[in-house]
Structures are given as C-alpha cells and as structure tokens.
Amino acid sequence: MFNLIHHIAIIGSDYKKSKHFYVDLLGFNVIRENYRRERDDYKIDLACGEQEIELFIIKNAPARVNYPEALGLRHLAFKVDNVEEVVKELNARGIATESVRIDDYTGKKMTFFQDPDGLPLEIHE
C-alpha cells in the first residue's frame, strides 16, 4: 500500500536562518518556493533524494516541546554513507553534533544535531 515517504513537513520560525541552514549548510536544493499571502508564511520545497522536505516558515508558531518529549514525530533521520565524514562537514560549517555512537539494534553509526529551532535531526549509516 505505502511505497515511499513523499514528503516530510518542518516548521521553522525564521526565514533567513532556516533557509540558510537547510539549503546553504545542509545542501538541499530548492524545488520551489512560495510566499503564501493569506497565511503570511513561506513554503519552501526541498529535494532530499526521491523525497521532499516541505519547509514552512511560520513567524509565531509555538515552540517545540523537546524535554520531556511530547507525543508525535520524535526526530527526522537521514541515511548517509559515512557518519564520521558527515560530522566533520557539519562541524566545519558550524553545526554542533553529539558524539557518534553505535545504534544498539542495527550496529550502525549514528548521531544527532539540531536545526535552528531545535528540531532533532539524525544521521545514520
């Protein structure tokens, strides 16, 4: 029934910071970008392999509850070929990452970092 995730939606609070983070620092390509006047927000569609990330910029969205964790989406994980190489690239771009660790269940390397609004993002081999 379900073949692939079509897109994932992320809400950011600051247009310049969020677009810079996802496009300039993480390297996602903009597919389309629209200002939605009726909502006074932006919707930026980004390419992530075959999937898309919808980046909504909403000025007064409530803050995300991280601790204690709330119900719903916990984090977003990206598959990479080499976690340690990606960590070096992220750190060189000024993005702090947690220590690399081994996933207890898959035996693969993984770690976390955050977007400008505190959304936990994971890289996983």
Last residue of some domain: 38, 63, 88?
63
Could you tell me if 78 and 118 lie in one domain?
yes
With respect to residue 7, please indicate whether it lies within any of the assigned structural domains: yes
Could you tell me if 33 and 53 lie in one domain?
yes
Q: How far apart are the first and last CA of the chain?
A: 26
Query: What is the mean pLDDT of each successive set of 10 residues along the chain, which is 125 residues long?
Result: 87 95 97 94 94 93 80 87 97 97 95 94 95
With respect to residue 68, please indicate whether it lies within any of the assigned structural domains: no
Q: What is the pLDDT of residue 3?
A: 79
Q: How many domains does the chain have?
A: 2
CA distance 125 to 106: 9
Q: For the CA atoms of 93, 96, 81, 125, what is the dihedral angle to 10 degrees? A: -170
Could you tell me if 57 and 1 lie in one domain?
yes
Q: What is the pLDDT of residue 17?
A: 96
Q: What is the pLDDT of residue 65?
A: 79
With respect to residue 43, please indicate whether it lies within any of the assigned structural domains: yes
At residue 75, φ and ψ (nearest 5 deg) are: -165, 175
With respect to residue 112, please indicate whether it lies within any of the assigned structural domains: yes
With respect to residue 116, please indicate whether it lies within any of the assigned structural domains: yes
Could you tell me if 41 and 78 lie in one domain?
no
pTM comes to 0.89
Q: What is the pLDDT of residue 33?
A: 97
Which residue from 38, 34, 44 is spatially nearest to 12, judged by alpha carbons?
Answer: 44
Which residue from 112, 107, 106 is spatially nearest to 87, judged by alpha carbons?
Answer: 112
**Residue 68: cis peptide before it, omega within 30 degrees of 0:** yes
Q: What is the pLDDT of residue 61?
A: 87
Range of the domain at 33: 1-63
With respect to residue 69, please indicate whether it lies within any of the assigned structural domains: no
Q: What is the pLDDT of residue 59?
A: 87
Could you tell me if 7 and 59 lie in one domain?
yes
Give the CATH number, domain containing residue 59: 3.10.180.10
Q: How many other C-beta atoms are found inside a 10 Å radius of the C-beta of residue 56?
A: 16
